[in-house]
Amino acid sequence: MRKEALWSAAAGAVVLAVMVAPAAHAEGRGDIRVVKTVVDGGTNVIVGTSKVVTFPIAITIKDDSGVKGLTDVSTFNRSNAYGFADWTGSTCVTQSATTSVCTATMTIDPSWIADSDDIDTNKVAGVWQVNATVKAKDGDYWISDNIAQYKVKRAATLTTDASPEPVVKGAKLTVKGQLSRANWEDRKYHGFSGQEVKLQFKKAGSSSYSTVKTVKTNSTGGLSTTVTATAAGSWRWYFPGTTTTMRVVSAGDNVSLA
């Protein structure tokens, strides 16, 4: 059974309902149309465990009488039809007599997420779509489905620790790390197991890192490998991300030669 939740906020009550995708359609009246949609400037939306996330959906609309605005905006996961982003406002900027860019502000509060559906909410990460209903000054309207696709991803963290420091040239250096990602159910970070992570090295004086090897995380998200120390420099781990989890790069750990 679908759940709805009600939360109190300083400015009043905010209602977040599970958004279920309707049957695919694009219908309305007149010649008003959405001609372009850009979500968050074309980037992925990253959601962690505590920080409230806001992001824009910029919708370019055209009608021969001029654009009045947005009457509905929704966004949700394409595969399971759940979503937890709340439409919290919009503004329209006139580009010409026939065209306007209306930007919807979407808000995600991690404290809402676990109560927003009746499944493991982590499964809502992935590819999302945008639906919107737009209206013209002459009363024309259009219900537009799937006007944009983008990814909502779980935030991730990554650490690096190289030892011993300093190290004798030609000796073995152990580089460890920890890959974790946000769990939207309990709002904590947990180790991300079975993921391939690149160990990278930047020689002292160099401006760029290069990949030395690829290591898979263990059952708790831990990383550990041994390399031969040939020069002083900085070591770091690089995780390219997945469809549901953000890309993350650890801070470098500088190691000098003894």
Give the CATH number, domain containing residue 102.
Answer: 2.60.40.1220
Do 178 and 222 lie in one domain? The reply is yes
d(CA 155, CA 93): 32
Can you give the pLDDT at residue 4? Answer: 30
Residue span of the structural domain in which 20 resides: 4-153
d(CA 90, CA 132): 12
d(CA 108, CA 181): 17
Do 26 and 45 lie in one domain? The reply is yes
Do 62 and 138 lie in one domain? The reply is yes
Can you give the pLDDT at residue 1? Answer: 29
Do 143 and 179 lie in one domain? The reply is no
pTM: 0.88
Do 110 and 183 lie in one domain? The reply is no
Can you give the pLDDT at residue 25? Answer: 56
Do 14 and 131 lie in one domain? The reply is yes
Do 148 and 192 lie in one domain? The reply is no
Instruction: For Cα atoms 195, 51, 125, give the angle at the middle one, nearest 5 degrees.
Output: 40
Helix (H) or strand (E) holding 135, with range, is: strand 126-136
CA 60 to chain centre: 23
d(CA 84, CA 5): 11
Can you give the pLDDT at residue 248? Answer: 98
d(CA 166, CA 122): 41
Q: Per the structure, how many domains does the chain have?
A: 2
- Residues (pLDDT < 70) of the chain are 1-26
Do 222 and 182 lie in one domain? The reply is yes
Tokens of 12: 């009043």
Do 139 and 164 lie in one domain? The reply is no
Can you give the pLDDT at residue 151? Answer: 98
